[in-house]
């Protein structure tokens, strides 16, 4: 195919696996590496090439995409003797699609530029469903030339793809996204808690408020799951808490006080402490339902 690229994909979990599969279906040569090879079994069966290390990926691929868990994982993958930075092909583009720290993204970009490499931070929104359906929103930071070179690859994985500015801008945009989600989710949970306490049928209340000015993705998608007792993860509490912590640290660094963000972070801290780290974010409802909120009255 015209424009066929050799792409390395590191991190083929719930979202990364689907994203890599779309690149494979588009005709690209995809080399994969993840901590547990079994997680990549479907991709390998579909034609992806397994590599035993990220060094092997770096030395074979003109574009390398990473989708790992935490900023500490990003740092490990990119830096050091076994890192992408020291082993990448000349002129390669490194794309981190993990939700990570804006300052780390800027450091990666500076190190890449010093070595004649391209670098983009490109976190995503849309969850596992968006990854499967190739409808992700992709928020990008970096140089225009690198963005233009990577845009055909982004188009295989997402629908809304925007270059927000220089290095770190994609991560800052993702933080804004997570702050908005936290506020919306908290509002949805409190609205339905209020409706229940008032003796209303929460599903009927949802019929009325879900399509009006109060309507939101969180209200219309997660409240039905809460009411059904379905707390399985579309997005893990432990990962959302990681994002809220990054957002809070970044806000503090910018001398910005965001009390709503501080509240959300404290509530998800409590959820994790109560043993719900591997549940979906809609489990916030359980703090209210089970009387786990500090100062709860019945």
Kindly list the catalytic residues. Answer: 174
- Between CA 102 and CA 253 the distance in angstroms is 11
The residue with tokens 């930071």 is: 141
Other beta carbons less than 10 A from residue 287's beta carbon: 20
The first and second tokens of residue 75, run together, are 């740092």
- Between CA 239 and CA 132 the distance in angstroms is 19
Are 257 and 210 spatial neighbours (Cβ–Cβ below 8 Å)? no
- β-strand pairing of 29-33 with 6-10: parallel
- Between CA 202 and CA 196 the distance in angstroms is 6
Are 136 and 67 spatial neighbours (Cβ–Cβ below 8 Å)? no
Q: Nearest to residue 68, comparing CAs of 111, 93, 90, 39?
A: 39
Contacts of 127 (CB under 8 A, 6+ apart): 15, 234, 235
């Amino acid at each position: 195919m015209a424009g066929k690229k050799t792409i390395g994909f590191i991190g083929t979990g719930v979202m990364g696996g689907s994203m890599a599969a779309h690149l494979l279906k588009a005709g690209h040569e995809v080399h994969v590496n993840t901590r547990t090879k079994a997680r990549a079994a479907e991709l390998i069966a579909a034609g992806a090439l397994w590599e035993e290390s990220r060094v092997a990926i770096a030395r074979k691929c003109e574009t390398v995409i990473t989708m790992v868990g935490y900023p500490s994982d990003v740092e490990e993958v990119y830096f050091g003797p076994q890192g992408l930075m020291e082993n990448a092909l000349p002129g390669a583009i490194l794309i981190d699609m993990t939700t990570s720290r804006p300052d780390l993204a800027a450091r990666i970009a500076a190190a890449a530029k010093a070595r004649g490499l391209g670098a983009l931070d490109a976190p995503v929104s849309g969850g596992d469903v968006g990854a499967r359906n190739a409808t992700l929103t992709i928020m990008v930071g970096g140089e225009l030339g690198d963005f233009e070179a990577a845009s055909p690859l982004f188009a295989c994985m997402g629908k809304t793809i925007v270059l927000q500015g220089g290095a770190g801008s994609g991560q800052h945009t993702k933080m804004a996204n997570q702050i908005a989600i936290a506020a919306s989710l908290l509002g949805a949970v409190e609205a339905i808690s209020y409706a229940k306490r008032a003796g209303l049928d929460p599903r009927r209340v949802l019929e009325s408020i879900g399509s009006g000015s109060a309507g939101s993705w969180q209200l219309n998608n997660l409240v039905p799951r809460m009411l059904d007792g379905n707390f399985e993860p579309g997005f893990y509490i432990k990962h959302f808490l990681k994002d809220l912590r990054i957002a809070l640290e970044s806000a503090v660094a910018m001398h910005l006080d965001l009390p709503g963000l501080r509240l959300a972070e404290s509530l998800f801290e409590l959820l994790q402490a109560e043993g719900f780290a591997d549940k979906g974010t809609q489990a916030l409802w359980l703090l209210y339902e089970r009387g786990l909120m500090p100062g709860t009255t019945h």
